[in-house]
A and B are shown apart, each in its own frame.
Chain A
Amino acid sequence: MVKIVKSIALIPSVLLTCFWLTTANSYEQAEQLPQEQASNWDDEWADDWQDVPKKSPWQISHFIEMAYGHFIQNNVVESTSALKEVRGRINIDYSHELFELGAKGDFLYDGVLKKAIFQTREFNIAFSPLNNLDVKLGRQVLTWGTGDYVFLNDLFSKDWQSFFSGRDDEYLKAASDSIRLTSYWEKFTLDLAWTPEFSPDHYLTGERFSFYSPLLKDNVAPAEYFFVDQTKDAQFSARLATTIQGVEYALYGYKGAWTTPIGVNSQGIPYFPKMNAWGASALTPISHGIFKFEFSYYNSIEDKQGNNPIIPNSQIRALIGYEQEIAKNLSLGLQYYIEKTQQYEAFTESNVFADEQVDEFRQLSTMRLRYSTLQQKLIYSLFVFYSPTDQDSYLKPSINFRYDDNLSFSAGANIFSGDKDYSFFGQHQENSNVWFRVRFSF
């Protein structure tokens, strides 16, 4: 076993050498860092640790990751794999008394798309122009709300392709070019996020995963032929949060569009119908665990009557959840989610595919089990989505082994099943896959 681990460890070190060549310029900067930053701190351990070096304003870190996944059923997509990539991340932060600069970029060779890509994950400046105001400007990841893998008031961009393919959870949240203002008042915190140019989800296009076409009554993978009428409209998001006697409350608002192209325009092309949302959440510790509640009203303003079959109806979404450590190192999280389609009668009457339509009260339950052992080096995790109304499910088992501070291995699966070819998870049966990742951080 040790031998295998060692030979696997060799692969990233070869890649690492390549990476050093490509990032030589940034390394010249790194060489100017104080010894403490640049050297291998493992060797510095001594009985005494009293010298406090002057803190460098630069923080640089990297990782190299190889990931491979494989479909376990025949799929209409071109590749047999949804994940086949080598990725190098460089993360550079600069801290000044008055501001913080953050930059994170991924170079990757994507074997599924057969091309090299550079992705700017973060590129932003953060500063506090007033005592009670924080500003973050630029490409950033935004998150709020209480759901675990279920999103109600968090309408920030998600990357479903990453989520379904077995990439690290980090990639479920896609970055957006935004301005975030957070102001702190005596009892409240007010967040405003403005995304000047619409930042949609990384939805399924058929490039990596297939999806159900109600017209063809089968799964399709149009890939580059999946035309979407893009929008450039802005998105506004707001959150007002407070804590009263240990209970965390928040109100949310959103003005923008549906974040996946689930409308069809007059030319018959998918597009992002306008949508506004508002909602609230509460979260509190109860009986050694955390209880949460969240709801949201999605106002699909282009189809207020609910009788336009090619634009989604408004929805009320509600979630309750509870999580607790049920035994030493074993935690359990449960959620129940209901999505009510408004004007359901009008929806049914106008729907051409009424026999395939979602229930008025679509329901979804989730369970997360997480067990850590070997002093947190080995983590077993299982996340299950099950919908009693759609009669479909999505299982996400995974194992993560942290060999040391640099090297970690992960393996897992995305298993979809369902009685019907058209339901939310059921349509993805052919997309079921297993995956493996190895990451070297330094």
Chain B
Amino acid sequence: MIKIFGKALLIIASYSWIMSSANASVDVQDIINKSNLASYYAGDDGSAQARMIIVDAKGNKQMRQFTILRKDQEDLGNQDMLVFFSRPTDVQGTVFRVTKKVKADDDRWLYLPALDLVKRISAGDKRTSFVGAHFYYEDVSGRNPAEDNFTLISIDDDSYLIKAEPKDSSTVEYAYYQLAIDKETYLPMQAKYFDAQNKLIREMQVLSVKVIDGFPTVLHAKMTQLHDGSYTEMQFRNVKYNVGLPDSIFSERSLRTPPKAWLK
């Protein structure tokens, strides 16, 4: 009896092994980690100029331009960031400083030049607009992979298609999202966010990638809000990696006195 049952088990087991063998050779968590590294932790540090065009449902446009300095405390761990706004004119000189923490709330500071005020700001909801754009804070700084459960849906010639479901659905506006991660670069080339009725509500597309200092880098991406067609495009230029940013520049001093040498 045990023998027969054991044999049946073996057959079932091997059957399911065959079915899943295509996916079993790849570990979804491994893909997510590599993707997170490629998207947010390239090199030990980096700098880039960024600009965004924000287009509302009626076609009205707004722009933002800023320079980002980033330094990793460790790969897939905490990071220090400085964002220096240069445009539009009403935010020129505003500086945003963040220490992104994987296991706790981020530390955030804002410098308002008109008041000479360094303001410590509370961590806040990460799924709210980043300076008026369709990108969320979390899209810019990276969503913590520990907050989602991932399943590999399929693999095609170019990419891994992965489904991500939030562990705590009360903190997000979507029911789940799907990532198309490039097999070569591990960059997510597309992210589609769905509601509970499986309706597409939000979509991120990468429009251009270039290898810079050996790191595949997104230079142009677009985030669209499907219900009204409004969107934000973000572009990067002058991207540099491993520039040797000292720890000391991630401080209050850089808010009042931007570190010119690193912003060229």
What is A's interface to B at a CB cutoff of 8 Å? 41-42, 45, 47-52, 55, 59, 61-63, 91, 95, 97, 126, 128, 134, 140-143, 169-170, 172-173, 182, 184, 189, 241, 246, 248, 283, 285, 288-290, 323-325, 328-329, 331, 375-377, 402, 404-406, 408, 441-442
Contact = CB atoms under 8 A, between A and B. Distances in A.
B253 interface: yes
B19 interface: no
Interface of B: 49, 51, 53-54, 56, 60-63, 65, 87-90, 92, 105, 107, 114-117, 120-125, 127-129, 131-134, 207-208, 219-220, 233, 235-238, 251-253, 256-257, 260, 264
Given A41-B87, A375-B54, A169 B120 contact: no
A222 B60 CA distance: 49
B3 to A, nearest CB: 59
9 contacts: A41-B87, A48-B208, A49-B51, A49-B237, A51-B237, A63-B89, A97-B260, A246-B107, A289-B122
B122 A95 contact: no
A394 to B, nearest CB: 20
Contacts of B54: 375
B139 to A, nearest CB: 14
Contacts of B53: 45
A15 B132 CA distance: 28
A404 B59 CA distance: 11
Contact of A285 (B92, B116, B123, B208): B123
A55 B89 CA distance: 16
A409 B158 CA distance: 49
Contacts of A134: 253, 256-257
A376 B89 contact: no
A405 B63 contact: yes
A143 B237 contact: no
Nearest to A241: B252
Contacts of A50: 219, 237
B132 A441 contact: no
A52 B257 CA distance: 23
Given A97-B260, A288-B105, A61 B89 contact: yes
Contacts of A173: 115-116
B63 A55 contact: no
Interface-centre pick from B65, B87, B89, B123 (highest chain A CB count, 10 A): B89
A248 B260 CA distance: 26
Given A47-B207, A283-B120, A324-B122, A126 B107 contact: no
Nearest to A408: B90
Given A141-B115, A173-B115, A62 B132 contact: no
B237 A285 contact: no
B132 A376 contact: yes
B37 to A, nearest CB: 25
Given A49-B235, A329-B125, 11 more contacts: A47-B207, A47-B208, A47-B220, A48-B208, A134-B256, A141-B114, A182-B253, A288-B123, A323-B122, A376-B131, A442-B89
A18 B257 CA distance: 35
A173 to B, nearest CB: 5
Interface-centre pick from A324, A402, A405, A406 (highest chain B CB count, 10 A): A405
Contacts of B105: 285, 288
Contacts of A184: 251, 253
A441 B253 contact: no
A52 B120 contact: no
A248 B131 contact: no
Contacts of B219: 49-50
